Structure 1
Amino acid sequence: MTETTLLYIIVSGIIALLLALFQYVYKTKRTLTNTILAGLRFVTWFSMFLLLVNPQFVSEVYYQEKPTLVVATDNSNSIQFLKQADTVQNLVEMLKNDSELNNKFTVDFYTFSSDISQNDNLTFTTKQTNLDKVFKSLKPIYKNSTAPTIVITDGNQTYGNDYFYAATSYKQPIYPIIVGDTTKHADLKISQLNVNKYAYLNNKFPVEIFVVYTGASSVTSEFKITAGNKTLYSERINFNETNNSKVIQATLKASQLGVFAYQATITPLEEEVNIQNNTKNFAIEVLDEQTNVAIVSNMPHPDIGALKKSIESNKQRKVTVLKPEAFVSDSETFELVIVYQPTAEFDAVYAKINANNQNRFTIAGLRTNWTFLNALNTNYKHDVVAQTEAYLPKKNANYAEFMMPDLNFESFPPLEGAFGNLRPQVPSETLLYKQIGSVATENPLLLTMDYNNRREAVLLGEGIWKWRAQSYLNANSFLNFDEFIGKVVQYLAATKKRERLSLNYQSFYDGSSNLELQAQYFNKNYEFDNRETLSITITDTNTANTVTMPLVLQNNTFQADLSALAPSDYTFTVTANTSNLSKSGSFKILAFNIEQQFTNATTEKLERVATTSTGNLHTPATVSNLLTSLYNDNRYKTIEKTTKKTVSLIDWKYLLGLLVLALAAEWFYRKYKGLI
């Protein structure tokens, strides 16, 4: 309470007293009745003045804060495969029911596999493990608290960054409980297989296989690649303790169109415990054509390299970078021509494109000559202004030409281009709108046109290489951005008509990846229609079993999760239930579970993590020692904390009761004395 507030209270008391005396004592005979009434009236006035002054009181509240114990449990399929599911379940139950542990700590339970969630529900069915994400996710939650962390795992990580660095930056003591057999058994395995997703008809395609041996004795085994019952490649390989790895380079021929499955196998040793990792299935899709794309530019720019990288990330596509004069004299046929920042030097380029009726993608920037472009074509006109502007992208959710991948466009840096707006003279669809600072507009930044059996796109800014870099920062991969550019190129290079029902799926899936099919449905005006319901009917061609399921609407895309399907060959039909539109296709699921590639638990790195973080490594047999150390560790003490709480007098309900009581007492007393 401040001195000013105290002064107000004193003044309020004086005023309340003067008012009470004036009403009941001044110019009246002093009696006991008047004195009592004056006292009651003083209480009334003073209470009302106190409510007006509303003084605030600060109180201190003391409470006990226990340290947090984090228990993160591996919920991946490798726990089940190594026959440790019951052991892990028992460990979690023991920690949950330990009264001494729960008295000392606030215990938070998490499960992890490819992701991490706060629960203790264990199923051991997920097909990936990412320990790196565990420590990265827990770090911001417990950065301001004491939170020793128990990690129950076999130590086998299937994807993600090296978790040692995330664990050391976690800044909490880590106590791994390693489950599974830590004994090193003799083992032959195919650790990695590299093959392109696509091959071209009558061409040969390479397959690179890494075979690793763990053991002390000298062994000999046979490696082979088969397709059905036919052996396509075989080789005898010798291993010993020092010569324990082999890189095999095989070349196979693509003689037929379609999707073909193959199996790479290293013959198991007699004493091998795990033979699941001796086999790897893979597939390729054989195509009969390649998309040739030309990028025509008279200037060096990082955008050109970024576009070439993105387009050629799909092995079906080939990019040739040409200067204007080289393009004019080149005799090769291109399905798409990307014209980068055209000037008057491109007159012959556009003449050749028009003569061949080729699809084109014009990218404008700070050096683009809009006077030349406006005079050259009748498809669009742009304001000719010397001023430049920075344009942020804003996605058009209703774009109907093709399905866009889920890119975080709002995080992308701006593109640099000429100030002014583009006015299409032919039917067009805007894929990205311009946003200037925080002001969103309806003016196109990237648009596509489909007219007279020719497709065209225009991008009104340079600096797209920054988008590719930002996409990598967002997702630790160029995949999303490359897929976006690939969709644009695929649309522009194709000549087929627009479809009201479009599908996005792979010809084959690795058994460990997420299986997802996406669809978009458009009404007769080619506007996305979220009122329609889509369903998919899937048939296993080997067993003839059929399943039908609905597609779920998410972010203007209908999606079906097919992860529950077993490895096999499938045909499917997606149907729009109201309009009866349908589209069919097929895909193959390869038999592979990466969680079953491990022979035993991995301890070395977890031991380094424990030591570096001032924790220690344990096994299920030594959990009692771990609990004892947690009970007795002086770093994990309950802390008494205090918090200051400010309370206003107006919130004090007893003062209101006192005011009502004083008024009521005064009324009844006056009534009793016959003064009313």
Structure 2
Amino acid sequence: MRTLVIAGIAFLLLGPFFKYVERQVQKPIVLIAQDNSSSITMAPDSGFYKNEYLTELNSLSLKLEEEYEIQRYTFDSDLDNSFEIDYSGKQSDISKAINDMMDRNVNRNVGAVILASDGIFNRGVSPSFLASDKGVPIYTVALGDTTIRRDLLIENIARNRLAYLGNDFPVEIQIRADRLKGKNAVLRIRKDGEVLFKRTIEIDDASFVRTIPALLNAKNIGRQRYDVSLSPLAGELTEANNFSSFYIDILDSRQKVLMVYKSPHPDIAAIRNSIESNENYEVVMRSTSDFSGDLSQFDLLITHGLPDASGSAGNLLERARDKNLPIWAIGGVAISWKDAQQAGFGIEARLKGGSNTTDASPSLVRNFSLFSLSEEVSTAITNWAPIKTSFAEFFSEPSARILFEQRIGVVDTDQPLWIFSEVEGYKSSLTIGEGIWRWRIQNFAERGDFSAFDELVSRTVQYLATKEDRRQFRVYGKDKFDE
């Protein structure tokens, strides 16, 4: 006995190592994701996907369970593990479904993903961007019909959220047509049943995509709904995508414009009458001698014949810039170019010898991009009379944008006649001459109205006086909801 005890103690003193091994076999996980969106049943063989296909899918799942752990999901806009397939989803987000499945199985032995879908998605990113990042093979089961069907649809509507009462706002409608070459479709934009825009579109390609611009007028305050439609064509896959709607918030934009002038001039009356033809603007007239200097209540400052060499305007332009008040200066022949340059209009003038004035007609710069002018204005400008401008060589800064260049006689030059500048969000414009009242009179003489001149002034005022939405509390809700 003593020998056994001593032998046991000696054995333990040697520090024996005991090893226990338990082996557990975990089956690889196979994730099955079934697209539950309604586009699956839009194929001609929709009955197959509601009956035989579901039976075969269930058989596949049972067979795989012999060797794998199976997780079954359906998805449309979200992932669901109930696996109840009724093809009722209105949106399809394949990328979110893949990401959510992988997130639920982090650090687990995922062997494969089986994705059964028609590949149509209207939310999220393209699933092809994700496939190579997941580290597991993704096997796809192609559903639906890969044949390109005849269809006409509204693919996208681009617009701003806000517009101002009385102003025009742009809308771009992107349409697509497949296998409808040679057909004509009619695009309409309606509000409360009234057709605001109509255009016939000639489909000249079997795979046709076109963006149609439209310009609408904001007539009512508040959130306004606009309905877009494409006339249905024979043989379309579905007419449901021929219709869409969008919403615009219309704000009351009545603004006050201050006109300060050195002395009376026909230009002042012409500009005032043009601005006041739009009921959203109120014009206040002041000469330099009776202006109090208060700029706080105005949205735009227009000056005529200023700054001048006598300094009659004082530091008006400097104070306007300090208050971030946009300026449109109509520079008469007596303008002080030294002061104008310091005011930040983006231009420098070097007067030439001899006569200090010359006559110049407007020549429209075609690549001017700050705002657009209608074809009526572009055509009318070519015949407008010359105005009196300084006889000088002008140098514009890179930030400047030239609307009109000078035409001397019949010769087009690269010298600016009307220029715009925006530096760090501050907007200004300079018309390098006086006598633009002649353009308004000539417009009436040729066309019987002032529409071309008024549009030119209106676009200038709108661009300069456009305000950012400074409401401190803004709530944006969804424009559309799935039914």
Could you tell me the TM-score, scaled by structure 1's length? 0.36
* Higher share in helix: 1
Bigger radius of gyration: 1
